[in-house]
Structure 1
Amino acid sequence: MKKVVIIGAGLGGLAAGIQLQHEGYHVTIVEKNAHAGGKMMPVKIGDYSFDFGPNTITMPDVFRKVLSNVGESLDDYIEFVRLDHHTKNVFYSGDSFIQSTSPDAVIKQLADLDPTAAQTYWDYLKEVQRLYKQSEHGFFHRTFQSWLDYLSPSLTKAFFSVRPLETMNHFHSRYFKNKEILQVFNRYATYIGSSPYKTPATFSMIGYLEMTEGVFTIKGGNPNLAQAFVEVFKKLGGSLHLEQEVSQVIVRDQTAAGVQLASGMEVPADTVIINGDFITATKQLISEELRPSLPNKKLDSYEPSISAFVILAGLKKYQQDIHHHQVFFPEDYKREFSDIFEKNQLPEDPTVYICHSAYTDRSISKGSNLFILVNAPAVNMKSGEEIDRYKNKIYDRLEKEGIDIRENLEVEKVYTPDSIAHLFHAYKGALYGVSSHKKSDAFLRPRNKSKDIKALYYVGGTTHPGGGSPMVTLSGLNVAKKIIFNDKA
């Protein structure tokens, strides 16, 4: 029986572990934190429960596939709840716009806010559907090693058909003339930690799923998805070890041979999978001389994606006017990305996103459990005074919007880019690894299979096919399939 060690119990690692364990491998997953699920982390503060993230769930069939592949049904473990009218967007002007899976509901709002868009919305839906279908067929279920992989006639045609040379903002400007409505659709770039003014229009496909299939949440909290994966993995005989940090990947004759834990204990393996930040894990776990194609200088040259300044705020008075997903936009949206990516500073006037899961499921938490997120660069914020100042800036902004934070605040916890970097070993605190501004980084994510070390693989949001919980899960499925195929060949 071949042994596999997976470093990290995020969704990608769990998905890979389930497939491999079912195929007869002996799989051990080692996780440094006290929970499985990676950033899909439950947080309990007093009587308040929060989901750290990801807050927006799409493509539920990807998660179902993880279990259906091994003869299980995910619906036996969790319940998906569809949010048809899923996000309320509030603009600087005072106008608001609710995103919905109902085109008629969207067009009715656009007729008042952006009459041109009301006429072109169906055309926009058709185009983003085309972008999504092309991407799903051509890219989601493959691993790419170099630009040469795009040179088959079918893939070359698919690549150039998904608008790789146009920016998201330029593409959306074809359909939306109201600058505030344009902000709503441009915000999809932040789902992959990037700027809409630099990200390829290809990634406009992200919105297709929300506009047609809908946004989902999971009854009892999104971390229940990770727990369902854990339950099935253990049921199949897999071993999961929490609060065990890996100090290095053991390499013999340029082949991965297991891992060494921080305790000094060695766990032998025939194959090693790293489910963690590609850059941080590679630098920390593999000696530089063993990876000539990835020297530290090259790893340090990657532009990190967006990080975040996060506040978990428990309000004793239930806030019935805050939707499950609610966004407050600034007057100058473009300036926010200039602050983050060009000036490397916290936005002076940020977009504020709130996830209020108690809006949909009151049983989850006491009062209102507000997950408040502001996009941030990968910066050091080790001064308590600096953290308090920025937290109060956000509170001031929300109180101007009519949300009585301080008056009702009972519990709170703040996460900065530094704490995110420490908690998840994230490169400079980046939530999505590498940004998608360069074409090479957008379409050639770090590879799933090591070029230098045999039997070493990577899964997760920093590798192909990209960030977001469905893509992370697909990376685990893709890598498991590749390992099984190679071993049978």
Structure 2
Amino acid sequence: MKKKVIIIGGGLAGLSAAVTLASNGFQVELFEKNKHFGGKLMPVTLGDYRFDFGPNTITMPEVFRKVIEQTGEKAENYFHMIKLENHTRNVFSDGSIFDFSSSREYMIEQLNRMDPAHRYDDFLKEITKLYKLSEAHFLPKTFSSFKDYLSPSLGAALLRVRPAQSLDSFFRKYFSRSHVIKAFNRYSTYIGSSPYKTPATFAMIAYLEMIGGVYYVQGGNAKIAEANVSLARKLGAGLHSETPVKKICVKNKKAIGIELEDGEKIHGDYVIMNADLLKAYPEMADERDRPSFPDSKAERMEPSTSAFVVLAGVNKQFPQLRHHNVFFSDDYEQEFTDLFKHKQYSKEPTIYISSSSFTDPAQSPGGSNLFILANAPALPADALLQTDPEEYKELIYRRLASFGLTLKPHIAEEKVYTPADIASQFGAFRGALYGPSSNRKRDAFLRPRNASIDIANLYFAGGSTHPGGGSPIVTLSGMNTANLIIKAER
């Protein structure tokens, strides 16, 4: 008789776990509270404009292909990935432009002008080393007990990935000009953290973009989630949207199923929680059943940044924009001081814009689909709004106009998402995008484990657990966790 696995949450981790388990003969039932599957990788349509709400920058394409190809299917039958060689335009208030590219020659050509004393080739060697160490010792592993952290090889690797050095300090070894350092420092925001506190280990993100490459999926990045849904169902998995889970049923310290919000109880041999652990675990499991993870533990963790997002459909194209664009504040360090120390919005935010219609005009016929994001502080414990959304939206438009990007007269469609919306829509702890921040070394390297210490047969996957956030990493998390269950049954 097939063993039954219940998955709570249909984000990328839940979907990759569903595909992996179903292809290995398990009965899988996945329950998602939203209408769509894919978590923050959510498609949004406003009039004639189509947007990806979630991850706009896709790296590690081999991970997304592996989810499909482990089943014997061909990934190209499900989605088509386009490599963006010159992928991110970094813009500064003095008019300087620095384009990130996976072309070493183009990067050196720019750096020779902007930062003549650069050590770009040495930089590439070091970030390659950091990535290879992570690839070997961190990304493919799951942590289900404290013993998993005691491996001598893991300890040796940890000492070699620069845990005591900050990202900012690391980048200053190879570059000297503030614009260049600022552009690289932005990689900390990929994990919702500060470059002035985040360990230099995460410079490996630069490897993913500068060497591995940045990609876009034809028709929108949400096609990745759609592919996983289609394949999971083809393999026999049951995927249930608009079906919130109320609690995890526990008997004799073992997960035996779930209770839906409507009161229906569903038995399962295993339960995987692909939901924000800091919020969902306290809500879905009685505190007496999880003595190693009391409510106070979640409350003590520093959440990552959230986001203030404007989806703007504009009726013209802007020649100065590329697929990915960043308009930097003059005082980047102050911005992170505001976000983490003062827990307030920056008055001079750095602004990211994705315009996928630059690569895929069908996403926005006759204009541009602009996904506009400013870093925002996580919600306070009382969940009160920290700024007026209309006022902050107008501040963003004024900031962009100061860079020569005047949008307001051309807006045909518009929608705003605040941290409170992100908390509500995605069940995110205090609206944080990536669970715990990586500002503290403990939270960076000792993220919550992939299996409950207290409740047998309960597993965790997603951005708030090991190995961390980011679309390819959470996808790995789902496959890794599924393989723990597969191994347990062998």
TM-score of the aligned structures, taking structure 2 as reference length? 0.97
Q: Which residue of 2 is the match for residue 132 of structure 1? A: 131
Stretch moving more, 123-132 or 88-97: 88-97
In structure 1, what is the Cα distance between the partners aligned to 2:436 and 2:57?
20
Aligned 8 A contact 1:356 1:370 in 2: yes
Give matches, 1:178-257, under 5 Å: 178-257=177-256
Q: Secondary structure at the match of 1:466?
A: coil
In structure 1, what is the Cα distance between the partners aligned to 2:93 and 2:337?
19
Cα offset for 1:18?
Answer: 0.7
Aligned residues: 486
Q: Secondary structure at the match of 1:231?
A: helix
What are the superposed Cα offsets for residues 57-87 of structure 1, whole Å, 9 maximum, x if unpaired? 0001011111111111111110000000000
Aligned 8 A contact 1:15 1:477 in 2: yes
Cα offset for 1:313?
Answer: 0.5
Q: Which residue of 1 is the match for residue 434 of structure 2? A: 432
In structure 2, what is the Cα distance between the partners aligned to 1:472 and 1:385?
31
In structure 2, what is the Cα distance between the partners aligned to 1:97 and 1:127?
21
Q: Which residue of 1 is the match for residue 279 of structure 2? A: 280
In structure 1, what is the Cα distance between the partners aligned to 2:425 and 2:449?
24
Q: Secondary structure at the match of 1:308?
A: strand
* Residue 40 of structure 2 is aligned to residue 39 of structure 1: yes
Aligned 8 A contact 1:460 1:473 in 2: yes
Q: Secondary structure at the match of 1:412?
A: strand
Aligned 8 A contact 1:312 1:371 in 2: yes
In structure 1, what is the Cα distance between the partners aligned to 2:273 and 2:370?
32
Q: Secondary structure at the match of 1:70?
A: coil
In structure 1, what is the Cα distance between the partners aligned to 2:150 and 2:453?
20
Q: Which residue of 1 is the match for residue 376 of structure 2? A: 376
Q: Which residue of 1 is the match for residue 86 of structure 2? A: 85
Give matches, 1:150-189, under 5 Å: 150-189=149-188
Aligned 8 A contact 1:147 1:444 in 2: no
Stretch moving more, 400-409 or 421-430: 400-409
Q: Which residue of 2 is the match for residue 456 of structure 1? A: 458
Q: Secondary structure at the match of 1:263?
A: coil
What are the superposed Cα offsets for residues 413-461 of structure 1, whole Å, 9 maximum, x if unpaired? 0000100000001000000000011111101111100000000001001
In structure 2, what is the Cα distance between the partners aligned to 1:63 and 1:277?
21
Residue 238 to residue 464, structure 1, CA distance change in 2 (3 Å): same
Q: Secondary structure at the match of 1:185?
A: helix
Cα offset for 1:406?
Answer: 0.9
Q: Secondary structure at the match of 1:212?
A: helix
In structure 2, what is the Cα distance between the partners aligned to 1:18 and 1:153?
33
What are the superposed Cα offsets for residues 166-218 of structure 1, whole Å, 9 maximum, x if unpaired? 11111111111001110111111110110000000000001101101210000
Q: Secondary structure at the match of 2:236?
A: coil
Q: Secondary structure at the match of 1:140?
A: coil
Q: Which residue of 1 is the match for residue 483 of structure 2? A: 481
What are the superposed Cα offsets for residues 318-362 of structure 1, whole Å, 9 maximum, x if unpaired? 223211000000110000000000000001111000000000000
Cα offset for 1:151?
Answer: 3.3
In structure 1, what is the Cα distance between the partners aligned to 2:274 and 2:216?
24
What are the superposed Cα offsets for residues 73-121 of structure 1, whole Å, 9 maximum, x if unpaired? 111110000000000000122111000111111111111111111xx10
Cα offset for 1:148?
Answer: 4.8
Stretch moving more, 67-76 or 372-381: 372-381
Q: Secondary structure at the match of 1:116?
A: coil
Give matches, 1:38-57, under 5 Å: 38-57=39-58
Q: Which residue of 1 is the match for residue 110 of structure 2? A: 109
Aligned 8 A contact 1:274 1:459 in 2: yes
Residue 340 to residue 16, structure 1, CA distance change in 2 (3 Å): same
Residue identity opposite 1:204 in structure 2 = A
In structure 1, what is the Cα distance between the partners aligned to 2:364 and 2:43?
12
Q: Secondary structure at the match of 1:298?
A: helix
In structure 2, what is the Cα distance between the partners aligned to 1:145 and 1:201?
26
What are the superposed Cα offsets for residues 224-253 of structure 1, whole Å, 9 maximum, x if unpaired? 000000000000011011001001011111
In structure 1, what is the Cα distance between the partners aligned to 2:14 and 2:169?
36
Aligned 8 A contact 2:303 2:430 in 1: yes
In structure 1, what is the Cα distance between the partners aligned to 2:188 and 2:393?
24
Let me know the Cα RMSD of the aligned residues: 1.3
In structure 1, what is the Cα distance between the partners aligned to 2:387 and 2:284?
34
In structure 2, what is the Cα distance between the partners aligned to 1:351 and 1:371?
14
In structure 2, what is the Cα distance between the partners aligned to 1:217 and 1:333?
28
In structure 2, what is the Cα distance between the partners aligned to 1:379 and 1:470?
26
In structure 2, what is the Cα distance between the partners aligned to 1:320 and 1:252?
61
Cα offset for 1:384?
Answer: 11
In structure 2, what is the Cα distance between the partners aligned to 1:111 and 1:206?
23
Give matches, 1:310-389, under 5 Å: 310-366=309-365, 367-379=367-379, 386-389=388-391
Aligned 8 A contact 2:307 2:377 in 1: yes
Aligned 8 A contact 2:145 2:453 in 1: no
Q: Secondary structure at the match of 1:129?
A: helix
Cα offset for 1:383?
Answer: 6.3
TM-score of the aligned structures, taking structure 1 as reference length? 0.98
Residue identity opposite 1:88 in structure 2 = R
Q: Which residue of 2 is the match for residue 469 of structure 1? A: 471
Aligned 8 A contact 1:271 1:455 in 2: yes
Q: Secondary structure at the match of 2:308?
A: strand
Residue identity opposite 2:300 in structure 1 = S
In structure 2, what is the Cα distance between the partners aligned to 1:55 and 1:152?
36
In structure 1, what is the Cα distance between the partners aligned to 2:78 and 2:107?
34
Residue identity opposite 2:112 in structure 1 = A
In structure 2, what is the Cα distance between the partners aligned to 1:486 and 1:393?
53
Q: Which residue of 2 is the match for residue 266 of structure 1? A: 265
Q: Which residue of 2 is the match for residue 24 of structure 1? A: 25
Q: Secondary structure at the match of 1:81?
A: strand
Cα offset for 1:379?
Answer: 2.8
**Unaligned stretches of 5+ residues in structure 2:** none
Q: Which runs of 4+ in 1 moved over 3 A?
A: 145-151, 380-385
Aligned 8 A contact 1:144 1:444 in 2: no
